[in-house]
C-alpha cells in the first residue's frame, strides 16, 4: 500500500460534474501546503466521461507540467504511473484539464466519480497513525478488517547502495544496506530500482544493527536511464520510503566507451585533427531518455545533438565539436 493517499470521499452516490456550458472544464486537487512526491493517479469517471483530457501537476498552482495527454479515453477507471523524473518533482496540485466528452454525447458536461493521488508526503509524519477499520471487499458483507497502523520505527529503510551506478543493460550486482526489520529470508524481500526490479539472490545478513542484501539489477534499456530510488519491501511489513539521500539511490548510466551505449556498434571516436581532416562530418545523437557518461577524451565532431543527457565523468576529459546543439537535453561539465 502506498503510504500517502488523497482522494474524493469514496461515496458511491457523490461525484463532480462540469457545467454543460463550460467549454474548458478543469478539476484541481490540492495536496496540502507541503505537497509530496506523486507516483500514481487514478481517475474514476462517471457515465459522462471525458474522451479527451490532460493531467497536469504543479508546485505553486501557477506553473504546470503536463504528465498525461489522453485522446482516446473510454470511461471507466484510468490509472497512470508517472515517470521517474515526475515522481521526484515536488507536487502540491494535480489537475484534470482540457476535458471534452465523446462527440456523440448528449451533453457537453463531464463527470468524475473519484480522483485519487498516490505517493509520499513531504510534511512531517506522526510517529504512529491509526486508520479506522474499513469494510473488506473480499470478506462477507458487514465484516470489518483489522485497524491499519503505520509506525515509523517499523518501516524498512535504505541507507546506501554499492555500487551506486551500472549499465542500462542490467546485470550489475548490488549490495543494499539499511534496516529490513531483521528478516533472514530472501524470499521475504523484494528490491526495486525505480520502476525496475533488482532480483534478490544474496543472503540477508546483519552486522551491528544494519542489514544488507545482494541483488542483480534488471535492464532498463538505453532510453530509460538516470537516477532511481532504491526501495526494499519486506513481506508482512511494508516498503521503505524513497530517500532523497544520494547514497540510497542507484544510477542507470552508460559510458561512452561501451558498445552497449551504441547498440552494439563501436563507440564513435570522431575525426582527426583539423588540419588533417578539414571535411569532418562525424556527428553524434543522444536521444531523449538516454544518459551517457563521457569517460574518454574525444578528438572532434561536426555536430553533437543532445536531447538526452551527456555528463563529463572527470575534469581531465576533453571533447571538441563544431556545433553542440542541446535540444531539451542536458550537458553537464564538472568544474575544476
| Alpha-carbon distances of 305 from 64, 146, 263, 301, rounded to whole Å | 27, 57, 17, 11
**How does residue 171 score in pLDDT terms, banded at 50, 70 and 90?**
very high
Q: How far apart are CA 268 and CA 274, in angstroms?
A: 17
Q: pTM of the full predicted structure?
A: 0.53
Reported as a single tens digit per residue, the pLDDT across 39-65 is 888 888 888 888 889 999 998 888 899
- Phi, psi of 152, deg, nearest 5: -60, -40
Domain spanning 4-121, CATH class:
mainly beta
**How does residue 183 score in pLDDT terms, banded at 50, 70 and 90?**
low
The x, y and z cell numbers of residue 237, run together, are 511489513
Of the listed ranges 77-81, 130-134, 256-260, the least confidently predicted one is 130-134
Q: Are 232 and 158 in contact (CB under 8 A)?
A: yes
Give the list of residues 6+ apart from residue 258 with CB closer than 8 angstroms, or none: 167, 267
Question: What would the mean pLDDT of 231-237 be, rounded to a whole number?
Answer: 84
Residue 163, preceding peptide bond in cis (omega within 30° of 0): yes
Block residue for cell numbers 524513497? 242
Reported as a single tens digit per residue, the pLDDT across 235-261 is 877 788 776 677 889 999 999 999 888
Q: Which CATH architecture fits 152-252?
A: Sandwich (2.60)
**Bridge partners, residue 148, by sequence:** 131
Per-residue b or e along 221-238, where b marks 16 or more CB atoms closer than 10 Å to that residue's CB: ebebbbbbbbbbebeebb
Helix (H/G/I), strand (E/B), else coil: 187 = helix
**How does residue 142 score in pLDDT terms, banded at 50, 70 and 90?**
very low
Q: Would 4-121 and 152-252 be classified into the same CATH topology?
A: no
Domain ranges for the chain, please list them: 4-121, 152-252, 259-332
Amino acid at each position: 500500500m502506498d503510504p500517502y493517499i488523497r482522494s474524493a470521499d469514496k461515496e458511491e452516490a457523490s461525484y463532480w460534474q462540469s457545467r454543460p456550458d463550460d467549454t474548458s472544464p478543469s478539476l484541481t486537487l490540492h495536496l496540502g501546503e507541503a505537497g509530496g512526491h506523486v507516483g500514481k493517479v487514478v481517475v474514476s469517471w462517471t457515465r459522462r466521461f471525458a474522451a479527451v483530457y490532460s493531467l497536469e501537476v504543479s508546485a505553486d498552482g501557477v506553473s504546470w507540467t503536463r504528465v498525461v495527454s489522453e485522446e482516446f479515453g473510454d470511461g471507466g477507471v484510468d490509472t497512470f504511473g508517472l515517470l521517474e523524473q515526475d515522481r521526484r518533482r515536488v507536487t502540491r496540485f494535480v489537475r484534470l484539464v482540457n476535458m471534452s466528452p465523446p462527440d456523440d454525447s448528449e451533453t457537453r458536461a463531464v463527470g468524475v466519480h473519484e480522483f485519487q493521488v498516490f505517493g509520499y508526503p513531504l510534511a512531517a509524519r506522526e510517529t504512529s497513525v491509526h486508520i479506522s477499520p474499513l469494510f473488506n471487499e473480499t470478506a462477507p458483507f458487514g465484516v470489518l478488517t483489522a485497524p491499519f497502523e503505520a509506525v515509523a520505527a517499523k518501516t524498512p529503510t535504505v541507507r546506501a547502495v554499492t555500487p551506486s551506478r551500472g549499465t542500462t543493460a542490467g546485470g550489475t550486482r548490488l549490495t543494499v544496506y539499511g534496516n529490513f526489520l531483521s528478516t533472514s529470508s530472501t524470499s521475504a524481500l523484494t528490491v526495486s530500482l525505480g520502476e525496475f526490479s533488482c532480483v534478490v539472490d544474496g543472503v540477508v545478513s546483519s552486522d551491528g544493527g544494519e542489514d544488507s542484501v545482494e541483488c542483480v539489477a534488471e535492464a532498463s534499456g538505453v532510453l530509460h536511464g538516470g537516477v532511481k530510488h532504491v526501495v526494499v519491501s519486506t513481506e508482512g511489513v511494508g516498503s521503505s520510503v524513497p530517500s532523497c539521500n544520494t547514497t540510497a539511490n542507484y544510477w542507470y548510466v552508460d559510458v561512452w566507451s561501451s558498445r552497449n551505449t551504441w547498440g552494439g556498434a563501436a563507440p564513435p571516436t570522431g575525426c582527426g585533427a583539423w588540419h588533417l581532416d578539414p571535411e569532418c562530418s562525424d556527428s553524434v545523437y543522444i536521444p531523449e531518455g538516454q544518459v551517457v557518461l563521457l569517460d574518454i577524451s574525444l578528438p572532434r565532431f561536426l555536430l553533437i545533438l543532445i536531447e538526452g543527457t551527456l555528463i563529463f565523468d572527470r575534469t581531465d576529459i576533453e571533447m571538441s565539436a563544431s556545433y553542440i546543439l542541446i535540444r531539451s537535453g542536458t550537458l553537464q561539465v564538472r568544474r575544476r
